Amino acid sequence: MLAVYCLSSACGAKGDLTLKSYEKPSPSSGLKAIHRESEIVLIWEFPKDKEPLIKGFYVMKSTGGDFEKTAFFGSDKRSYKDTDFETGREYRYKVLTESPRGVTSNDSNIVTIKPRKVPSPPVNISFNIEDELLTLKWKAAGEGILYNIYKRDEAEIYPLTPLNREPLKETFFKDTFNVKKSVYYTVRSLAGGEIRDEGPASEEITIIPPEFVPSDPEGLQAVVTKENVHLIWKEPPETWITGYRIYREISTEDGFILIGESQAPSFLDRESPLTKRNYRVTALGPSKEGPPAEIRDVEYRKPR
């Protein structure tokens, strides 16, 4: 009797697992459609922790009649690009989740999309950096055109989600700037609406701080006393300058020699200027040194 009871319990447990494996999997949610250039991009959501419970996703498409299976993706995918469409024609999409046993979920939300002709990309894109803000500017792509900004790091690809929360009416965008980090931007024109109807990406704007070269300091002057030389100059316009280097030349044979660095636009040379000398001052960027400002024939002269 004991052996039969254990066998029955084991079978009962196995039966419970078998029945559970035939349950409907959770559906995906948040299905969205974006029309970008020659693609309709679908994006959906599904909990990461439930991936082991499913086999993958079916993308279903309707061109006016019944939905048909268009593509199947593994459980780690959340997007699909459809290139088989015509502008001006209406399409509907939904996504089904499939279990390892082949059981499909309830429908996701259904999205309807009628792609329109996309606008041309913006041109003449430039950037300016002031303090910790970077400003992108570009030429308008036409009347009533909106814009999305996309940003990536050096090792990444551009995301499907733009940097701006809402499509931009203006032809400029401000972003935070980190002088220690290289970043890349593109701008896309769009016709507006929920599906965006985005055109091709603009030229890529590459911002690599280690390549920044600052301007030369202007207005370099020397205030000379018997004991020292006080150098002063105007700060260059770049706000990402990290400091200045000061060089002195007493003899052409030795040339200019680095005598110090300064964080402020001034420097005190404590060597008595009883002999004639020349000075150079350069600004420092994140990695590179800019062209020098120069003042020559600095020497202490006794007052008459």
Mind listing the domains of the chain with CATH numbers? Answer: 21-113 (2.60.40.10), 123-211 (2.60.40.10), 218-298 (2.60.40.10)
Structure tokens at 131: 């303090």
For residues 167 and 204, what is the distance between their CA atoms, to the nearest angstrom? Answer: 19
The Cβ of residue 212 has, within 10 Å, a number of other Cβ atoms equal to 17
Comparing CA positions, the residue from 107, 106, 100 lying closest to residue 22 is 100
Reported as a single tens digit per residue, the pLDDT across 166-182 is 999 999 999 999 988 99
Over residues 147-167, the mean pLDDT reads: 92
Q: What is the pLDDT confidence band of residue 114, given thresholds at 50, 70 and 90?
A: very high
Element (H, E) at 3: helix 2-21
Look at residue 23 in the predicted model and tell me its pLDDT: 87
Distance CA 286, CA 177 (A): 13
Alpha carbon 155 to its chain centroid, in Å, reads: 11
Q: How far apart are CA 134 and CA 126, in angstroms?
A: 10
From residue 75, alpha-carbon distances to 45, 104, 134, 216 in Å are 11, 13, 39, 56
Token duo for residue 256: 């200019």
pLDDT tens digits for 61-74? Answer: 999 999 999 999 99
pLDDT above 60 (res 12): no
Handedness of CA 51, 53, 54, 55 (dihedral sign): positive
- Element (H or E) spanning 74, and its range? strand 68-74
